[in-house]
Amino acid sequence: MPPSLPDVQADQMTVEQWLAIRKEAAVNIDPETAEVFWEYGSVRDPYGLYDLTNEEDNVGRNYFARSPGSDVWVHFGDLPKATREAQSWLFRRDSNGSASKKKSNPK
C-alpha cells in the first residue's frame, strides 16, 4: 500500500515536495519490470492528500506502480502517457487485486 502524506510527519515535507518525489519516480518506472497493485479508494484524491466531502469524493479502483525495490508508489494517472499505455496491456489484473505479466501483447 502506498504511504499517503498523512503517514509522513507534517514537519518533514510539504504536499508539493511529496508530489514532486512521485513525479520524479514516475519517469523512471519501466513497464517491463514495474510492480503494480490496486486498491479501492478516492479516485479524485488517490494519495489521500485532501479532506474531500462525500459530495466531492468518488470511490473506485486506484492503480499504482513502482520500480522494483522502490518504496515510492505512483498512481497510474501520474505516469508518463507511454508508460501508462504500456501498463494497460502488459499486466492482467485479477479480482483479488494482484497483477501478473501477460505472456504476449494481445494487439
pLDDT in tens, 21-67: 999 999 999 888 888 888 999 999 999 998 999 899 999 999 899 99
What is the mean predicted confidence (pLDDT) over 80-94? Answer: 67
Give residue 43's pLDDT.
93
State which residues form the domain around 20.
8-92
In a domain, 107, yes or no: no
- Our CA angle for 97, 25, 35, nearest 5°, is 25
Give residue 79's pLDDT.
94
State the total domains in the chain: 1
Among the listed residues 32, 21, 18, the one whose alpha carbon sits nearest the alpha carbon of residue 70: 21
In a domain, 106, yes or no: no
Burial status of residue 11 (CB atoms within 10 A of its CB: 0-12, 13-18, 19 or more): exposed
pLDDT in tens, 63-85: 899 999 999 999 999 999 888 88
In a domain, 2, yes or no: no
> Using CA of residue 48, residue 50, residue 51, residue 57, what is the dihedral sign?
negative
In a domain, 3, yes or no: no
Residue identified by cell 492482467 is: 92
Q: How confident is the model at residue 7 (pLDDT cuts 50, 70, 90)?
A: low
Looking at per-residue confidence, does 93 or 75 come out higher? 75
In a domain, 97, yes or no: no
Distances (CA, A) of 98 to 22, 46, 70, 91, 92: 22, 18, 18, 10, 8
Among the listed residues 18, 32, 33, the one whose alpha carbon sits nearest the alpha carbon of residue 75: 18
In a domain, 70, yes or no: yes
